[in-house]
Structures are given as structure tokens and as C-alpha cells.
Structure 1
């Protein structure tokens, strides 16, 4: 059969059009100046004492915040997360009742450009409120340093630590059922409530930073998978936890939980609601995030993943996109993690310095 010349020319034109204008459905993870594209698929020493607090740093917190430049946000939002104006107003109204209560210390301050905190704590001693303020400032500073995320509009975070007789009442007021949990956050009104533990005030400090990190994640990243949301909160809750040249550390007992491969961890979203799995999931999220942050190449890839998540706050990256980015830019990450895990288990003491 003879093929006419005009048919050949028509076929060439069609192929050229497809080549130059057709773009497959892809998700992009950028690492430094390189771009990795993956096709979407349908399934695819220690604790809190006054010695750990640098008083000079405390005095310079406000001036340091004001001196910081206001960097351009890396977010390119294709949607807006819902912050209900009525909910925001309701939160301020309910919490204002504690401002004049002599059982509490209330203070509003900046922790970074466009980011303020309304901190309310019980009057347990002179150092508790100040220590929480310092730790939150440093946690946010390190968070921005690791992930390069900055708000492009003002955020007011309500961080409230409450004794038992207040905690359950306020949890109910904010629309949740009281339970035995140590803390809870509400993204729609930027509020984190924490149960104060008289027997262990240190644990309340950690929970407060943990819940504040969730509110920060909600505002700067948006919707996040549990491994990332909880992993970030777990790692940063231990900011300034003990005297070291590193700001962030993780507890060694976490390393003794059942080991999970990274793929198993990120594929486990449905298991987070099952109590029997949560201990291992929290520990592995903590350990993997700590490893990535401590490892130079891991930190670069993690930053790229988080920034890619932040570009569309109303959805999460496909797991295969994350795994492809890691296998491209950090080829031996599983082996490197196992080496890190083995070495970390040899560390004596309660905490391992991370960053």
C-alpha cells in the first residue's frame, strides 16, 4: 500500500504537536537546583532547670524578631485553608476570660515575622512561662531554618496550658470531647490546648511545643500525612531539652520501638487511628524525621518534600512521589538510616542531639 506524501507530513505535524504541548500529570519535588518529576498514580543533663535557660537570649527575643527580615514565602497556594472568622473571634473571646484570672499568666509576643503567640500558662512558678516562651521561639526558629517556610500573612497562635479543672471545660467549649489526652489543637482557630501535669511539668512543656507545631504545620504546610505532621511535632517538642551544643534532641527510648521501613511508615495512614499501632508509629515518625534532619542530604530532600507539600495546602503528595524523590536524591537512605539507628542505640543517656 502506498502512503501519500501529504499523509506522512500530517503524521509528522501531529507528532510534533504532541511532543511540544503534551505534559503528563506529574508532581514535582525540587531539591536545590535540580527537579525530580514523578508520575502520579492512583495507588500509589537534661530536663528543664533554670540552668538550661539562657537569660541573655530571653532578653533579646523581642529585638531579634523585630530585626529579622520578612522573607518571601515559598508557598504558591492553589487553595486557601479554612480559618473561620467566627471561630477565630470565638477563641479570642473564650480565652480572654483567662487574662484577668490571677491563676494564670497571659502574654502576647512575636516569635518571627508575621507570627505571634498568645501564651497562657498557670502560675506554677516563675520559670515555667518563661521557659516555654524561649523553647517555642527556638523551635520556630529551627523549624524555619530546616524547612524554609515563612508565612505571607499574620498568624496568631493561641497556646494555652490549663490545669485539669480548666482543661476539660475548655476542650468542650472548643467543640471536642474531653478525654485523657495531654493536648489537642484546632486548626480552624489556631488554638492549642494543653493539660498541665503537676507531677511532671516538663511533660507539659513538651506537649505544648508539640501542639504548637501542629498549628504551625497547619498554617505553613496545610494538609499533611500523619507521619510528617506527627514526626515534625515529635522532634521539635524536645527543643532545648537539655544542655548540649544542639538545640533539638530526641529521647533514646524511642529508638527501642519496632523498626519500620520508611515505605511502611508512609503507607500506614489508616493505622494511626488504631491505638495498638500508635506507639510504634509515633516512635518511627520521630526517628525518621530526626535522621533526615541530622543527615545533610536527608535534610535537603526533606526540605524539598515539605516545600512541595506547602505549594498545595489542601492536598498531600502521593507516597510514590516522595519515595521517588528519595531514591533519586538520597539513593541509600534506608541503609544510611539503619547505620544511624544502630549507632544511636549505642548512645548512653536519655537524649540524642539532632540539630
Structure 2
């Protein structure tokens, strides 16, 4: 009888643990909403993979929650990005002959690959490239060199509803309540074609999730969706702040900031539409507030440790130190916007 080698068993245990963690990262959210990274129940979850470094972080700012300390164990997600490249290539190989491919490099950073079934034209592609460039400029303005890195964005536009549902359901996703979804494992966004305007907004929304994953790693759902909802409305050639602003929506009161920050476990259990709206309202306010750098400070801190999210207490401290009267100022801003709309409609 052939005996088992006990040394081999012990050698396999660490490998199995790594594989389990890897599977948890990639699939933990697939059953709920693939556009957001899975979040552990513990607010101070341990990072998945670290590399030793004795260099101080280059992100120095007034918030001081993380960046004033030495980062002795910096997060390394190279293993995830390498897996994504392989998965994206396999996905592309499986697309049918009816797909056309467009590729472009934007701002010497975003590597856009767009697959479509002939429903879009040159103007759509030009608008997509232009708007993604404008989105990336915002990240450059907030993160500096931290945003000047290669970002792969893969978008697949399906010609009709049936094709969209068939393609996305193969990955275990329920597409019935969506028109776009981003899968982290393959770093690929699937979008249903519903006319150029809606499709363009959806494509940008899902592309922002790819940008967030590469630049920021694991971030709270409200922040991830709030950035995507805000940037999908970007209008680079429009006067003013450069966004299509549905300020009439602000007549509805969004969740209070601290409720938004603490909403991580509520996505899918309460009114998801209200969470999307609240995330958009707060991120849009922070992004366009010229007197505060609160959002910039938050993104810088999230980038320091990409494998784990900041917890609610850390986020609150960052925002309040950068903008001490944030709740009061937001409420006044919302009231003013609603009043402006009412004045123009009378």
C-alpha cells in the first residue's frame, strides 16, 4: 500500500488558504451586485496580501488618519490585476464574430477596449473617449501621480435585451433589474444598448467601477456607486461645473451623511434606489465644493491601503477634519439648489 506523504499535506495547506481567499475576493459579491467589491463584516478587515516596505507614504495631508504614518505593509493587488487580464482575454476570445472592436488609449493611462454589435457609431465612440478622458482628469486632480497609471477598461455593448440577459446570467448574475454590470473577476463591463444617450451614461458608470478598482482597490459601496453616478453625468463641453445636473431630484431629502457612511451592509436589503441617490447627492456635493478638499482627502486615504476599506469612524474623521461643517453646508446647498429650480419654473 502506498502511504501518504505528510510533508506534502502541510505544504498544500497554505496554498489552499490562498486559493480560498482569492475565490472569496472575486466571487463574494457576485450573488448580490458585481459592481461593488465584497465587503467583510468586520470594519477593520485584514488586507489580503501585503509586501514589506520601509518607505513613508507619499500621501501627506491634513487629515492625518493614515498618511502621516509609515506604511510598513503596503497592499499589492498585482495578483488580482494579472488574473483580470487573463480572464478578460478569455472572455474576448469567446465573443462571436458579430462583435466589432475599438481600442484607444486615453490620457496615456486608460486603455479602452470596446466591443459592440454594430448598434453604435463613430459619434458615440468619440463621446465615450472624450468623457472618459474628462473623468480621468478629475482623478488626476485629486490623486496626482496616483492616478497616472495604466487602467484597463473593457466594455461590451450588447445589441438587445435578450443578448444582455444571456451574457450576464452566464456569470451567475441576475440581470432583470439592471442595464449594465461590471464584473471584477474579468474587469469587464456588460451594457445593454438602449439608445445612444442612455447607453453612453451606463458605459461610463461601469467604466468608473473599473477605474475605482485599479486606483482605489476596495472602497465602500456608497462611495463606489456615488462616484459612478456622478461621473456618468459628466458633460465636458457644458458651461458651469461640467455635469448634467438633475437638481430636481434634490427636492427629495437624501440620507444623512453618517447613515450613508454606515450603509455598507444595507445594499440589497432596503431601497437600493434611495442608496444610489444618496450616494450621488453626497459625492456630487463633495466633488463640486471648491472650498473643501474632503473628497480628495478620502480618496487619498483609500488609496494608501487598497486591500481593505476604511471603516466608518475613519471616514467620518477624514471628512469632518477636511470640512468641519459638512452636514450644515450640504443641507444649505441642497435647499439653494431646490430654490433655484423653483425660481426658473415660475
> Do the aligned partners of residues 178 and 326 (structure 1) sit closer, same or farther apart at CA in structure 2, a change above 3 Å counting?
closer
Question: After superposition, what is the alpha-carbon deviation per residue over 1:200-251, rounded to whole angstroms, capped at 9, x for unaligned?
Answer: x312111111111011111110111111111100100111187324323332
Deviation larger for 127-136 or 186-195: 127-136
Q: 2:154 aligns with which of 133, 142, 158?
A: 158
Say if 2:336 is the partner of 1:343: yes
> Do the aligned partners of residues 346 and 337 (structure 1) sit closer, same or farther apart at CA in structure 2, a change above 3 Å counting?
same
Question: After superposition, what is the alpha-carbon deviation per residue over 1:152-199, rounded to whole angstroms, capped at 9, x for unaligned?
Answer: 76332211211223222321344534433111111222111111114x
Say if 2:288 is the partner of 1:291: no
Q: TM-score, normalised by structure 1?
A: 0.70
Corresponding residue number in structure 2 for 1:55: none
By how many angstroms is 1:86 displaced?
Answer: 5.5
Question: After superposition, what is the alpha-carbon deviation per residue over 1:246-285, rounded to whole angstroms, capped at 9, x for unaligned?
Answer: 32333224313333221111111121112x4212211111
- Where 1:119 maps in the other structure, the secondary structure is strand
Q: TM-score, normalised by structure 2?
A: 0.71
Corresponding residue number in structure 2 for 1:34: 62
Corresponding residue number in structure 1 for 2:297: 304
Corresponding residue number in structure 2 for 1:52: none
List, as ranges, runs of 4+ consecutive aligned residues in structure 1 with deviation greater than 6 Å: 29-32
Deviation larger for 303-312 or 245-254: 245-254
Say if 2:193 is the partner of 1:196: yes
> Do the aligned partners of residues 320 and 84 (structure 1) sit closer, same or farther apart at CA in structure 2, a change above 3 Å counting?
closer
By how many angstroms is 1:296 displaced?
Answer: 2.2
Q: Which runs of 5 or more structure 2 residues have no equivalent in the other structure?
A: 1-43, 45-56
- Where 1:116 maps in the other structure, the secondary structure is strand
- Where 2:146 maps in the other structure, the secondary structure is coil
Corresponding residue number in structure 1 for 2:167: 170
> Do the aligned partners of residues 216 and 77 (structure 1) sit closer, same or farther apart at CA in structure 2, a change above 3 Å counting?
farther
Alignment of 1:219-258 (within 5 A): 219-240=214-235, 243-258=238-253
Q: 1:265 aligns with which of 255, 260, 264?
A: 260
Question: After superposition, what is the alpha-carbon deviation per residue over 1:83-136, rounded to whole angstroms, capped at 9, x for unaligned?
Answer: 2756533432332465852xx542111123343010123433532222222222
Question: After superposition, what is the alpha-carbon deviation per residue over 1:7-56, rounded to whole angstroms, capped at 9, x for unaligned?
Answer: xxxxxxxxxxxxxxxxxx9xxx9996435348xxxxxxxxxxxxxxxxxx
Q: Which runs of 5 or more structure 1 residues have no equivalent in the other structure?
A: 1-24, 39-73, 350-355
> Do the aligned partners of residues 259 and 246 (structure 1) sit closer, same or farther apart at CA in structure 2, a change above 3 Å counting?
closer
Query: Hey, what's the Cα distance between the residues in 2 that align with 1:81 and 1:257?
Result: 42
Higher-Rg structure is 1
Residues paired across the two proteins, number = 280
Query: Hey, what's the Cα distance between the residues in 2 that align with 1:148 and 1:118?
Result: 24
